[in-house]
Structure 1
Amino acid sequence: MEESGHYYSVYYVSIAVGFLNRIARQHAFFAQMPDEVSMLDATDLEVSYLFRTGDIPSSRLVPNSWRLRVEHGLHALTGRSAAAEQERTRQLLLATRDTDFVRLGLLLHRFGDTYAHTQIDHPDILYFADPAFPLTDRAGHGHLRHGHTPDEPWGLGRRALMRRYLTDLYQLFDTMAQRNPMNLRPTLATNKVSLAQVIDDFSMAEQAVDIMIRRRQEACVDSVYDGRRSIPMACFNQDAGAQREYITVLRRRITERTGGISFDPYEPEDQDLLTWQEFRERYRASYPELNQYNDQTIRDAVRQINAETNTIPSPAF
């Protein structure tokens, strides 16, 4: 799932049910974190494993067992029943302390991926990463055979799935919100956003993406047949434009719905992956919870999720 799913959807729904902005921001930031840190990012680990050459820095080379811990534990690439993994992850989230934002974030990321990583051609089953599959058989390498399409919530084939995710995320956060009134906005009685309104706003974002893509396609076709004009670079990367349009609508709608609350943009959005140490040093001032974790303890947090989700790799790997 892209930033629009892990960061902005979590942020929006957390605000919608009534969390304070600073709490919602932490939910969102840490939910996005696994896709920003090289040792936690499934794609980076998979690519560095599949294309091991002398050009890959030694810092990028990790044991295959760690790759599987991350792909199965954090990104839900287990090949199992999506519904079962969703419920398992929901229960773990409900059992996690409100103040443990790093663990909450890891589990919120997994929760999102139990929806985003359902197979396009078998929607009840998650994609899976299996070391026994060679590169020539893409079925065993996550959603490689379908590219980035599964991670794009605005895609025509993923919109019903996105509504299920939003519904379940809303209910999850609504339950969590009841545990500690100190985490809720004092104005909640007048600016809580209903689930129906959440769905409406995400539908509006999808419609904006449709319009943007249609206009861009028309412009691209025109430029192809007009030899005097160069083809815009946007014609070659429409996903980035779609995500920006989607996010822009969501940010505007949450401000309108709540009478002034605005999203903090996602800071690492346009940056390359960082090591854990780099990520922690860069953001620890804004997110002091990062100070509780070092390279070893973040690995331990992942291993704990592996144990709780029964995603411990075979000793052979």
Structure 2
Amino acid sequence: MAEPREPQKPQEHNVPMITLSDGNRIPQVGLGVLRIDDEGVTPVVENAIAVGYRHIDGAAGYNNEAGVGRALANTGYNTGDKRADIWVTTKLRDSEQGYDSARKAFDRQLGLLQLEYVDMYMLHWPTPFDWRSGETWKAFAEFRAEGRVKTLGVCNFLPEHLDRLHEETGEYPAINQIELHPTWQQREVVAYCKEHGIAIEAYSPMARGADLNAGDGTIERIAQAHHVSPAQAILRWHIENGTIIIPKSVHAQRQKENLDLFGFALTQEEHAAIDALDGPTRAGHDPLTFTYA
């Protein structure tokens, strides 16, 4: 057996930067902060920054923007030279879609985050049963023109929603953040986005842990071959696909592990074996019927 692989130190991670259609560059690995309360999220984000994360993915609907803001202020990443070294995403509440309501919401969110600008502002769900994305996007474009947002993105949009947004605004988002993991690969959505220059960002990249045991031990066998964890094997698969990932962890050691993806590579056979795990069942919600916050 090969010797166990030495974990990389934070400064050696060299997380790749993904260049977006608007020319901005986003770290390929970020920290998701869903389902962490406002008080608890502050030390989680502070620790993530300490171990090397430079990309934080939040949302108004997570009800913890103030806590994220405290972490950014406490670490000095909310202003000055350090601000340029971190990517901060937040999302509009679905209930605040619309031009006027988005303008008001964004001002509130910047205040909670203690930031002068965010790197990305996103529509959280398409809500096709109450479609307001076109008028909301007008406000988004104004925030960008004002220098208060760098990149505009969407979450959970299907091709039909991206088509409609483009018809109404003349623009595609730079990123579409979708549920994506080995057993739910959304290949049609991914192909559409690639064709239209939209980067894919995966949330629930391990199906909230369910995919760690996918394929009758396939993930475990691949992980053992590289002396890494099953989580690292899955996240490495995403990295090799060019997908931006935002795994969530409140544990310091797992945060480090989720960044330590660049000292090994899957073989073509291993990558294909994970590709073959695609299935018909999502872990989360249906974009055609769901609204969040």
State the structure with bigger RCO (CA 8 A, min sep 6), 1 or 2: 1
Greater fraction helix:
1
Whether these two folds match at TM > 0.5 is no
Greater fraction strand:
2
The two structures have a TM-score, normalised by structure 1, of: 0.29
The two structures have a TM-score, normalised by structure 2, of: 0.30
